[in-house]
């Protein structure tokens, strides 16, 4: 059983210690945000991010020339991240073994930023026990044309269904179009049980309300519906980490929110990279106390 990490009392600005070059390079051309500003954002938010991000195998969205140029997902080391970015060997489906990346400090995060990283995505398990996931994500993906009110209601309904099963869940705005419903879990079960539960949960929602929900990826079947993307819960899949900046116009951020505030929120990208102070203040408030933390086991259903 894992003990939930302490919430930081204060949020000291960590010593950078990682040289960020080309600080004035504009990486969000529509908005003017620079690489230096992104490094400052992640330096400030690292204490809030690390309880979730630390030690997870990560997949980085790197955009070395800025978000308007070529961006790519990277999950293996290219040899140049330096010693603050660690490696964990993970068995691949084909039987081979590959080194995946993880960080455990703000310096590790900044080393990624130095390499052109904008987005941090993480596995549902951690590098010390890769085969035992500790969070489940239901990624709500609305079809074009649906409005955020539909996503909001879907998230609340999923929360209620999970609560029926004895599971506490938490909401996060993705910074894009949807909401992620996050279910922290004590470690113990393996990937097969994890994926199977997520799949059956999503399928049960879509069977109960086929006009609103769909549990298969097929675009054709998604018309006018919300895809409950349970595939984030497979071994090797990732989801955007709390407080990560998205490589999208406006530099929106993935933001934890309380269930209470969700009904008043109009879109999934209300916060941006320029809101670091607001996000730090919010995190100290009562509404977000304990967000993403719970000791609970996957039920047998
Ligand atoms: P939105 O709310 O706009 O859907 P999102 O972050 O949920 O934002 P999705 O397209 O639903 O975006 O993707 C969910 C997650 O799947 C991503 O956050 C990412 O971790 C992972 N993912 C998507 N595409 C890729 C890819 N090409 N390679 C690796 N991981 C990916
Ligand atoms: Mn999504
Ligand atoms: Mn998705």
Written as tens digits, the pLDDT of the chain (301 aa) is 455 555 455 555 555 589 999 999 999 999 999 999 999 999 999 999 999 999 999 999 999 999 999 999 999 988 889 999 999 999 998 999 999 999 999 999 999 999 999 999 999 999 999 999 999 999 999 999 999 999 999 999 999 999 999 999 999 999 999 999 999 999 999 999 999 999 999 999 999 999 999 999 888 889 999 999 999 999 999 999 999 999 999 999 999 999 999 999 999 999 999 999 999 999 999 999 999 999 999 998 6
CB 214 within 8 A of CB 221: yes
DSSP H or E stretch at residue 36? helix 35-53
Among the bound ligands, the one closest to the CA of 230: 3
Whether ipTM exceeds 0.90: yes
Q: What pLDDT shows up at residue 50?
A: 98
Q: Is the pTM of this model over 0.90?
A: yes
Q: Are 191 and 276 in contact (CB under 8 A)?
A: no
Closest C-alpha residue for ligand 1 atom 26: 73
233 pocket-lining for ligand 1 (C-beta < 6 Å): no
Distance CA(291)–CA(276), nearest Å, equals 18
Which atom of ligand 1 approaches the CA of 180 most closely? 7
Closest C-alpha to ligand 1, atom 17: 239
Residue 1: the pLDDT is 47
Closest CA to 267 of 287, 246, 296: 246
Q: Is 236 in the pocket of ligand 1 (CB under 6 A)?
A: no
Does ligand 1 come within 6 angstroms of the Cβ of 122?
Answer: no
* Residue of the CA atom closest to atom 13 of ligand 1: 239
């Amino acid at each position: 059983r894992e003990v939930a990490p302490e919430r930081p009392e204060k949020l000291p600005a960590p010593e950078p210690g990682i040289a960020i070059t080309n600080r004035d390079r504009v990486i969000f051309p529509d908005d003017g945000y620079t690489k230096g500003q992104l490094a400052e954002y992640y330096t400030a938010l690292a204490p809030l991010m690390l309880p979730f991000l630390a030690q997870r195998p990560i997949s980085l969205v790197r955009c070395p020339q800025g978000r308007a140029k070529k961006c790519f997902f990277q999950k293996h080391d290219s040899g140049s991240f330096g010693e603050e970015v660690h490696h964990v060997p993970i068995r691949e489906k084909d039987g081979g073994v590959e080194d995946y990346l993880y960080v455990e400090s703000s310096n590790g995060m900044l080393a990624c930023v130095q390499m052109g990283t904008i987005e941090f995505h993480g596995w549902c398990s951690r590098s010390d026990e890769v085969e035992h996931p500790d969070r489940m994500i239901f990624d709500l993906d609305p079809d074009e044309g649906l409005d955020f009110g539909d996503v909001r209601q879907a998230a609340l309904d999923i929360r209620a269904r999970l609560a029926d099963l004895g599971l506490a869940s938490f909401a996060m705005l993705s910074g894009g179009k949807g909401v992620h419903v996050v279910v922290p879990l004590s470690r113990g079960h393996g990937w097969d049980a994890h994926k199977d539960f997520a799949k059956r949960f999503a399928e049960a929602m879509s069977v109960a309300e086929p006009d609103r929900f769909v549990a298969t990826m097929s675009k054709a079947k998604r018309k006018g519906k919300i895809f409950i993307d349970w595939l984030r819960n497979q071994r090797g899949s990732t989801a955007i980490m709390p407080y990560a900046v998205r490589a999208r116009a406006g530099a929106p951020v993935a933001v934890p929110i309380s269930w209470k505030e969700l009904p008043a929120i109009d879109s999934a990208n209300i916060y941006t990279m320029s809101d670091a102070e607001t996000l730090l203040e919010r995190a100290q408030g009562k509404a977000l106390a304990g967000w993403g933390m719970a000791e609970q086991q996957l039920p047998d259903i």
